[in-house]
Amino acid sequence: MENLLFILLLVLLAGVFVAGYFIMRNLRKPNIRDTRGIKDKWEEIEDLIKSDSTLSWKMAVIEADKLMDSALKSAQMRGETMGERLRFAVSRYPKIRPVWEAHILRNDLVHEANKQIGQADAAKALKLFKEGLRTLGAL
Protein backbone atom coordinates (compact mmCIF):
# COMPACT_ATOMS: atom_id res chain seq x y z
CA MET A 1 0.00 0.00 0.00
CA GLU A 2 2.83 2.41 0.87
CA ASN A 3 4.52 1.67 -2.46
CA LEU A 4 1.32 2.42 -4.38
CA LEU A 5 0.87 5.71 -2.54
CA PHE A 6 4.51 6.62 -3.19
CA ILE A 7 4.16 5.81 -6.92
CA LEU A 8 0.95 7.85 -7.17
CA LEU A 9 2.69 10.77 -5.49
CA LEU A 10 5.61 10.54 -7.92
CA VAL A 11 3.27 10.40 -10.91
CA LEU A 12 1.35 13.42 -9.60
CA LEU A 13 4.57 15.39 -9.05
CA ALA A 14 5.83 14.46 -12.51
CA GLY A 15 2.53 15.64 -13.99
CA VAL A 16 2.79 18.95 -12.17
CA PHE A 17 6.35 19.49 -13.41
CA VAL A 18 5.43 18.61 -17.00
CA ALA A 19 2.40 20.90 -16.94
CA GLY A 20 4.49 23.68 -15.39
CA TYR A 21 7.13 23.25 -18.05
CA PHE A 22 4.63 23.66 -20.89
CA ILE A 23 2.91 26.60 -19.22
CA MET A 24 6.23 28.40 -18.67
CA ARG A 25 7.36 27.56 -22.19
CA ASN A 26 4.22 29.15 -23.61
CA LEU A 27 4.65 32.24 -21.42
CA ARG A 28 8.21 32.84 -22.56
CA LYS A 29 7.48 33.63 -26.18
CA PRO A 30 4.11 34.14 -27.77
CA ASN A 31 3.29 32.70 -31.16
CA ILE A 32 3.95 35.48 -33.68
CA ARG A 33 2.82 34.44 -37.13
CA ASP A 34 4.60 36.72 -39.60
CA THR A 35 8.15 36.89 -38.30
CA ARG A 36 9.56 37.07 -41.85
CA GLY A 37 7.48 40.16 -42.61
CA ILE A 38 8.54 41.73 -39.31
CA LYS A 39 12.21 41.03 -40.04
CA ASP A 40 11.90 42.54 -43.53
CA LYS A 41 10.21 45.66 -42.17
CA TRP A 42 12.86 45.93 -39.43
CA GLU A 43 15.61 45.99 -42.06
CA GLU A 44 13.84 48.91 -43.78
CA ILE A 45 13.64 50.74 -40.44
CA GLU A 46 17.34 50.19 -39.78
CA ASP A 47 18.11 51.68 -43.20
CA LEU A 48 16.23 54.84 -42.21
CA ILE A 49 18.45 55.38 -39.17
CA LYS A 50 21.58 55.30 -41.35
CA SER A 51 20.42 58.39 -43.21
CA ASP A 52 21.68 61.90 -42.53
CA SER A 53 18.11 63.20 -42.41
CA THR A 54 16.31 64.18 -39.22
CA LEU A 55 13.04 63.31 -40.93
CA SER A 56 14.33 59.77 -41.61
CA TRP A 57 15.29 59.36 -37.94
CA LYS A 58 11.82 60.45 -36.88
CA MET A 59 10.23 58.07 -39.37
CA ALA A 60 12.43 55.22 -38.10
CA VAL A 61 11.14 55.69 -34.55
CA ILE A 62 7.51 56.01 -35.69
CA GLU A 63 7.73 52.95 -37.94
CA ALA A 64 9.47 50.91 -35.23
CA ASP A 65 6.65 51.80 -32.83
CA LYS A 66 4.06 50.69 -35.41
CA LEU A 67 5.96 47.44 -35.92
CA MET A 68 6.09 46.84 -32.17
CA ASP A 69 2.36 47.45 -31.93
CA SER A 70 1.76 45.02 -34.78
CA ALA A 71 3.84 42.39 -32.99
CA LEU A 72 1.93 42.99 -29.75
CA LYS A 73 -1.36 42.50 -31.61
CA SER A 74 -0.02 39.35 -33.26
CA ALA A 75 1.05 38.08 -29.84
CA GLN A 76 -2.55 38.67 -28.72
CA MET A 77 -1.72 41.23 -26.06
CA ARG A 78 -4.92 42.75 -24.70
CA GLY A 79 -5.78 46.39 -25.11
CA GLU A 80 -7.35 48.95 -27.39
CA THR A 81 -4.24 51.10 -27.78
CA MET A 82 -0.52 50.49 -28.11
CA GLY A 83 -0.08 51.79 -24.55
CA GLU A 84 -2.63 49.34 -23.18
CA ARG A 85 -1.12 46.44 -25.12
CA LEU A 86 2.36 47.40 -23.96
CA ARG A 87 1.20 47.62 -20.34
CA PHE A 88 -0.30 44.13 -20.66
CA ALA A 89 2.87 42.80 -22.31
CA VAL A 90 5.04 44.20 -19.49
CA SER A 91 2.92 42.30 -16.97
CA ARG A 92 3.73 39.07 -18.80
CA TYR A 93 7.22 39.91 -20.06
CA PRO A 94 8.93 42.38 -17.70
CA LYS A 95 11.94 42.62 -20.05
CA ILE A 96 9.75 44.67 -22.39
CA ARG A 97 9.47 47.53 -19.87
CA PRO A 98 12.25 49.63 -21.52
CA VAL A 99 10.14 49.85 -24.70
CA TRP A 100 8.08 52.46 -22.83
CA GLU A 101 10.92 54.96 -23.19
CA ALA A 102 10.95 54.50 -26.97
CA HIS A 103 7.15 54.64 -27.17
CA ILE A 104 7.10 57.92 -25.22
CA LEU A 105 9.66 59.37 -27.66
CA ARG A 106 7.41 58.31 -30.55
CA ASN A 107 4.44 60.01 -28.89
CA ASP A 108 6.47 63.19 -28.45
CA LEU A 109 7.49 63.12 -32.12
CA VAL A 110 3.90 62.70 -33.26
CA HIS A 111 2.22 65.13 -30.89
CA GLU A 112 4.80 67.92 -30.56
CA ALA A 113 5.24 69.70 -33.88
CA ASN A 114 8.66 71.16 -33.04
CA LYS A 115 10.12 68.08 -31.34
CA GLN A 116 13.68 67.54 -32.53
CA ILE A 117 15.56 64.27 -32.43
CA GLY A 118 19.19 63.37 -32.89
CA GLN A 119 20.48 60.27 -34.57
CA ALA A 120 21.78 58.90 -31.26
CA ASP A 121 18.35 59.26 -29.61
CA ALA A 122 16.65 57.59 -32.56
CA ALA A 123 19.21 54.77 -32.53
CA LYS A 124 18.65 54.24 -28.80
CA ALA A 125 14.87 54.05 -29.33
CA LEU A 126 15.37 51.53 -32.13
CA LYS A 127 17.59 49.43 -29.88
CA LEU A 128 14.82 49.37 -27.25
CA PHE A 129 12.19 48.41 -29.82
CA LYS A 130 14.49 45.71 -31.22
CA GLU A 131 15.00 44.18 -27.77
CA GLY A 132 11.24 44.23 -27.22
CA LEU A 133 10.64 42.49 -30.54
CA ARG A 134 13.26 39.89 -29.63
CA THR A 135 11.60 39.30 -26.27
CA LEU A 136 8.33 38.62 -28.07
CA GLY A 137 10.11 36.25 -30.47
CA ALA A 138 9.32 38.46 -33.47
CA LEU A 139 12.99 39.02 -34.41
Domain boundaries, the chain: 1-30, 35-136
Give 98's DSSP letter.
T
What is the pLDDT tens value at each position of the chain, 139 positions in all? 777 776 766 667 766 665 555 555 445 566 777 788 899 999 999 999 999 999 999 999 999 999 999 999 999 999 999 999 999 999 999 999 999 999 999 999 999 989 999 999 999 999 999 999 999 999 9
How far apart CA 69 and CA 24 sit, in angstroms, is 24
Indicate the fold that domain 35-136 takes in CATH. Answer: Four Helix Bundle (Hemerythrin (Met), subunit A) (1.20.120)
Contacts 24+ apart (CB under 8 A), 51-57: 54/116, 54/117, 57/117, 57/118, 57/119, 57/121, 57/122
